[in-house]
Amino acid sequence: MGMIVIEPFRGSPVTEQRIEIVERKGTGHPDYLCDSLMEAVSVELCRRYRAAFGAILHHNIDKGLLAAGRVEKRFGGGRVTVPMELTIGDRATFRLGKRMIPVAAIAVDSAKAWIAKHLRFVDPRRHVKYRVVLAEGSEELTDIFARPGAVHGANDTSAAVGYYPLSPTDAAVLGLERWLNSPAFKRRFPETGEDVKVMGLRNGSDLELTVAMPLLCRFVRSEEEYFDRKRVVQGALDTFGAKLASFRSVNLQFNTLDVPGRGMHGVYLSLLGTSAEDADSGQVGRGNRVNGLISLNRPMGTEAAAGKNPVSHVGKIYNVLAHLAARKIYERVGGLREVQVLFLSRIGTPISEPQVATAQVLPLKGKLSPSQSRAAERILAAELKGIAGFCGRLSRGFYPVC
């Protein structure tokens, strides 16, 4: 096993910093779409590889681009004139011995199934074109999967970081987007689209939340009706904000680019519920971290986890595991205020043996005690020892990555 280091955290907790900025891109945001679609392809490929060969084979479906289409919109409706285009890349295994796997068909079918399940008004056959640019991997990286051992070697030298607990600002931003895209909210406000973006700014004890969420053309027949519906939704948002008891004040702004009197030019309307229809393209890795947030006051790595293979690519494995391990240390050790976990791999070394695994721990009171250090070390060691089971769950989509 690699080196495990437990050390006291020397900085101030995020809740004691005056300014905290947190963002979340929701279900219909183009970047979220790319992450989710590539991950859906990876999960299905893992299932098909296991069924055909009894093991997960080399693949990394982590290079995806959703190019925006074009639509004609009007109050009451509209039409798609140019469909969105989803490019699915990078590498996959197409055959083992004489047996072939229809990788391109699996990729497209997986993407279509995800879109049909999560985007109410996007027809995955008519509104999206698909371009598959997957190819076979290099001999050395592919050979990782043929080498003996209970766990695979790392396919990269890479670092990842995770933290816990979420701050009240984190929780507010995450909770707001999930509420806005919940089935209950969409039943109550079917005129709202899935492309939700929430930006949170905490200044001391005061929280500002800025929400972008389109209303749907088919439900809005005029500019007057748009602003009428917007006022109703704003009322629901204000009710949500009033329940956030951790803050002295909560100011929630909604669709702030709107300008009355400008017709279609002054309102945020969408035909399909996502800005990828005509306004904004998406790319893997530009969205949320694996805990669902973009928290600018927290440590963040540069690896995009979505779509990477879950048994050798540490850019995915260590990213998710770091957050999970930080949470377990926080919850099980006790007397802690904040935990950060960092993993560093060395290419070719078993993923259960990182070059270093570090927990930076901030106690609630006083200094980090020897018993707390030993308990944190035992948890990290146990997580690494059980990494094969963790990777199995990761391969089945058990842990979200965006």
Query: How much is the average pLDDT of 237-255?
Result: 97
Q: pLDDT, tens digit, for every residue of 276-304? A: 999 999 999 999 999 999 999 999 988 99
- Say how far apart CA 287 and CA 197 lie, in whole Å: 11
Query: What share of the chain in percent tops pLDDT 90?
Result: 91
Query: How much is the average pLDDT of 157-163?
Result: 95
Angle at 388 between CA 380 and CA 356, to 5 degrees: 35
Instruction: Match domain 15-25+167-283 to its CATH number in 3.40.30.10, 3.40.50.10310, 3.30.300.340, 3.20.20.60.
Output: 3.30.300.340
Q: pLDDT, tens digit, for every residue of 92-144? A: 999 888 889 999 999 999 999 999 999 999 999 999 999 999 998 777 677 67
Query: How much is the average pLDDT of 261-275?
Result: 97
In single-letter form, the type of residue at position 138 comes to: S
For the chain, give the mean pLDDT.
95
- Say how far apart CA 309 and CA 93 lie, in whole Å: 11
**DSSP conformation class of 214:** P
- Say how far apart CA 172 and CA 238 lie, in whole Å: 13
pTM value?
0.95
**DSSP conformation class of 64:** E
Query: How much is the average pLDDT of 192-211?
Result: 98
Asked which of 75-79, 124-128, 152-156 is least confident by mean pLDDT, the reply is 152-156
Query: What share of the chain in percent tops pLDDT 70?
Result: 99
Q: What is the token pair recorded at 202? A: 């905490």
Specify whether the CB–CB gap between 298 and 13 falls below 8 A.
no
Given a cut of 80, whether residue 148 has pLDDT beyond it is: no
Q: pLDDT, tens digit, for every residue of 329-375? A: 999 999 999 999 999 999 999 999 999 999 999 999 889 999 999 99
Domain chopping of the chain, boundaries: 15-25+167-283
- List strands edge to edge, sheet with 356-363: 3-8, 356-363, 336-344, 159-164
Other C-beta atoms closer than 10 Å to the C-beta of 175 total 16
